[in-house]
């Protein structure tokens, strides 16, 4: 862990007086949430932490991995642990936007008259599982754009606000698998993190079998209410951030652009377009969450380094050479972090 902290930055006037108790309360709630999730999800601690960072940072999470690794189970378990409404959409090639958003239907009044009434789709929930999102066509995938960015849905010139918190957890299969469509760049950019779910190890597999094939199957319960979740989100935004740490995050983002003076040789050689400002916003909010998780009320450069890969890996578009050589965006991010100095 780096010891470069911004603890010397003076607290803003609107910060809580008793910071220690506030941070302790935040950590206790997150600990209970992680413990409940751990009753069902084994060997994916980094993925669970990444999902919680997305939720606390008011963002959305994209989980990528082959079928059977527990991606859907993780989302369902999270919904069980948070006292909020939950909805699931199974994405298929024949799914239409109206199946997600809802549509106007004709209803008959008691007097015999007829009128249009909006019938809400499954997107009207606090936690939405978009299962196998890349099996639907780009037209259907784009139905989520407004909801993920603005928290609202527009149907026939009428705009409907979604209840807060609104949190999308999407799962996708690797693009090499049959029957998948690549997500549009605008869709990818709206995901706070892209998390890669790996195959569990031997001990984790034994634990999974012990829990899922025995007589007593664990049942996680709700430990955090949605109102508390909204309060925790507000706390994260009040965590102090020094100009030095913020500037480091900005320079890391700039280094993903091949035309930037901050670009590394790998970026210039393999990247066509770099990350958007949403990328640095995700890094900052995730770094603030990570600081609180470790009991600190200030963000360090090490926090930025830790959250940069999941925040940037899906926001960089490789050029032809990068695609042809099979370059992993994580390699480029690692090269950027290695070559970006802490202060200029």
Single pTM value for the model: 0.85
3-class state of residue 116 by DSSP: strand
Closest by CA position to 168, among listed 227, 230, 124: 124
Confidence grade of residue 294 (pLDDT, cut at 50, 70, 90): confident
CATH architecture of structural domain 1-16+239-344: Orthogonal Bundle (1.10)
Which residues are paired to 102 by β-bridges?
Answer: 120
Per DSSP, 134 falls in state G
Q: Answer with the residue of higher pLDDT: 265 or 187.
A: 265
* Segment 89-146, tens digit of pLDDT: 999 999 999 999 998 888 887 777 788 888 899 999 999 999 989 888 888 888 888 9
Domain with CATH 1.10.8.80 in the chain: 1-16+239-344
CATH 3.40.50.300 fits 20-237, yes or no: yes
Rounded to an integer, what distance in angstroms lies between the CA atom of residue 290 and that of residue 307? 9
3-class state of residue 280 by DSSP: helix
Confidence grade of residue 177 (pLDDT, cut at 50, 70, 90): low
Which burial class, exposed, middle or buried, applies to 106 when counting CB atoms under 10 A from its CB (0-12, 13-18, 19+)?
A: exposed
Cα distances from 9 to residues 6, 233, 245, in angstroms, run 6, 21, 11
pLDDT tops 50 at residue 12: no
pLDDT tops 90 at residue 16: no
pLDDT, average across residues 154-179: 84
* Segment 248-273, tens digit of pLDDT: 999 999 999 999 999 999 999 999 99
Confidence grade of residue 6 (pLDDT, cut at 50, 70, 90): very low
Rounded to an integer, what distance in angstroms lies between the CA atom of residue 82 and that of residue 58? 15
Domain with CATH 3.40.50.300 in the chain: 20-237
Which residues are paired to 86 by β-bridges?
Answer: 127
3-class state of residue 154 by DSSP: strand
For the ranges 9-13, 209-213, 245-249, the maximum mean pLDDT occurs at 245-249
pLDDT, average across residues 225-232: 90
Dump the DSSP string for 179-191.
T--PPPHHHHHT-
What percent of the chain clears pLDDT 70, i.e. is strictly above it?
92
pLDDT tops 80 at residue 68: no
């Amino acid at each position: 862990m780096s010891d470069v902290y911004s603890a010397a930055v003076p607290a803003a006037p609107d910060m809580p007086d008793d910071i220690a108790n506030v941070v302790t309360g935040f950590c206790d709630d997150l600990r209970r949430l992680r413990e409940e999730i751990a009753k069902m999800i084994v060997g994916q601690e980094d993925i669970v932490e990444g999902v919680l960072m997305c939720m606390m940072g008011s963002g959305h999470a994209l989980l990528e991995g082959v079928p059977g690794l527990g991606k859907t189970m993780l989302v369902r378990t999270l919904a069980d642990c948070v006292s909020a409404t939950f909805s699931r959409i199974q994405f298929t090639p024949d799914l239409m936007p109206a199946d997600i958003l809802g549509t106007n239907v004709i209803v008959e009044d008691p007097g015999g008259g007829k009128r249009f009434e909006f019938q809400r789709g499954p997107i009207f929930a606090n936690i939405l599982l978009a299962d196998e999102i890349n099996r639907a066509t780009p037209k259907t995938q784009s139905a989520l754009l407004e909801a993920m960015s603005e928290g609202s849905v527009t149907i026939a010139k009428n705009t409907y606000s979604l209840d807060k918190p609104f949190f999308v957890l999407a799962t996708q299969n690797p693009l090499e698998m049959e029957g998948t469509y690549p997500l549009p760049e605008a869709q990818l950019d709206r995901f706070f993190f892209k998390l890669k779910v790996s195959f569990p190890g031997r001990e984790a597999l034994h634990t999974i079998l012990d829990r899922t094939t025995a007589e007593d199957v664990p049942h996680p319960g709700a430990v955090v209410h949605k109102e508390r979740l909204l309060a925790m989100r507000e706390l994260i935004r009040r965590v102090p951030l020094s100009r030095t740490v913020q500037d480091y995050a900005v320079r890391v983002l700039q280094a993903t652009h091949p035309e930037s003076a901050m670009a590394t040789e790998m970026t210039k050689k393999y990247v066509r377009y770099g990350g958007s400002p949403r990328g640095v916003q995700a890094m900052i909010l995730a770094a603030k969450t990570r600081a609180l998780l470790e009991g600190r009320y200030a963000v360090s450069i090490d926090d930025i380094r830790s959250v940069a890969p999941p925040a940037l890996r899906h926001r960089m578009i490789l050029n032809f050479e990068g695609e042809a050589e099979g370059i992993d965006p994580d390699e480029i991010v690692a090269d950027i972090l290695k070559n970006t100095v802490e202060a200029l």
